[in-house]
Amino acid sequence: MQSAHKVLEQMGPMSKKEWITLTVFIGMIILWGVAGLFNINTAIVGVLGLAMLILTGVYRLEYLREEGGDALETYIWFSILYMLSSQLNDLGFMHTLGLQISGLLTDLNWLTAYLMLTILYVAIHCFFVSQTAQLLALFAVFLEVAIQAGVPAALMAFMLAFATNYFSVITPQASSGNVIFVGSGYLLPGEVYRAGGLVTLINLIIFLLATPWILWVSGLMT
C-alpha cells in the first residue's frame, strides 16, 4: 500500500489528457449502458470515443500509423471472417445442417445423441471466429435436434451454454481475445492450437461429467 502511494506521488496529479481520457471512457460506458433503451449502435459509440480522443489531441493519427498497422489488419480480417460466419445462418445453411444432423441421430439413444451433439458443437468452433456468431447460428439448432432425440432440454441447454465459453481458446481465431494475443505477438498460432486444444478437451471432459450431476442435484433434471 505504501509503495502504491509513493508511485502515485511520483506521478503527480492527473494531466489534462488523462482527465479527457477518463471523461470519454465514462461517457462511453454510459452510452453502452443505455444503448438498448435508445437503440444506439454500440459500434458507433466506440468510433465516437476514438474520434473524441483524436479531436482533443489525446490520441494522434501518428500513433495509428506507427503502431496500429498490425492491429488494424487483425481486426479487418476478424470482421470479414465474423461476417462470413454470420451469413451462414442468414442464408439458411445452419437450418439445413440441423436437418441433416437430426436425420443422422434418429435411431440413436438420447445419451449417445447428447455426447455426439456436444462434441460436434465444440469441434465445429474451429470454423467460427466468434463465440457469439456460433451461439446465434447453432445453439437453437443443436438444442432442437437434441430435444427431438430425447435429450433432457435442461441438460443440453446448459451444456451448450458452458461449451460456448470454454471452447473460446481452441484456435487463434476462436475469440477476439485470441486474435489480439496472436496479432500482438504474445502467443504463436501453434501455441494456441496445442494449449487451446488441450484445455478445451479437459474442459469438455469435466463438463460432460459434472453437468448431469449438478442438474440432478439442483432438481433441474430427474
pLDDT on residue 39: 86
- Give dist(CA 177, CA 136) in Å, integer: 19
pLDDT above 90 as % of the chain = 18
Structural domain contains residue 6: no
Mean of the pLDDT values across residues 185-214? 86
Structural domain contains residue 52: yes
164: nearest Cα among 174, 178, 154, 151: 174
Whether 66 has a pLDDT exceeding 70, the answer reads: no
Q: 98 and 56: one domain?
A: no
Task: Give, as one character, the DSSP assignment of residue 126.
Answer: G
Average pLDDT over the chain, rounded to an integer:
81
Q: 122 and 155: one domain?
A: yes
Q: 59 and 97: one domain?
A: no
Structural domain contains residue 178: yes
Q: Which amino acid is at 203?
A: N
User: Domain ends where: 47, 67, 87?
Assistant: 67
Q: 214 and 135: one domain?
A: yes
pLDDT on residue 1: 61
The backbone torsions φ and ψ at residue 188, rounded to the nearest 5 degrees and listed phi first, read: -90, 150
Q: 52 and 128: one domain?
A: no
Q: 147 and 217: one domain?
A: yes
User: Model confidence at 199, in pLDDT bands (50, 70, 90)?
Assistant: very high
Q: How many domains does the chain have?
A: 2
Q: 18 and 92: one domain?
A: no
Longest dimension (CA), the chain: 71
| pTM for the whole structure | 0.66
User: Domain ends where: 67, 86, 114?
Assistant: 67
Which domain range does residue 210 map to?
68-222
Whether 71 has a pLDDT exceeding 70, the answer reads: no
144: nearest Cα among 111, 95, 109: 95
pLDDT on residue 72: 62
Structural domain contains residue 3: no
Structural domain contains residue 20: yes
For CA atoms 210, 213, 217, 219, give the dihedral sign: positive
pLDDT on residue 99: 72
Structural domain contains residue 1: no
Q: 75 and 62: one domain?
A: no
pLDDT on residue 12: 81
pLDDT on residue 78: 67
Of 113 and 96, which is predicted with more confidence?
Answer: 113
Whether 198 has a pLDDT exceeding 90, the answer reads: yes
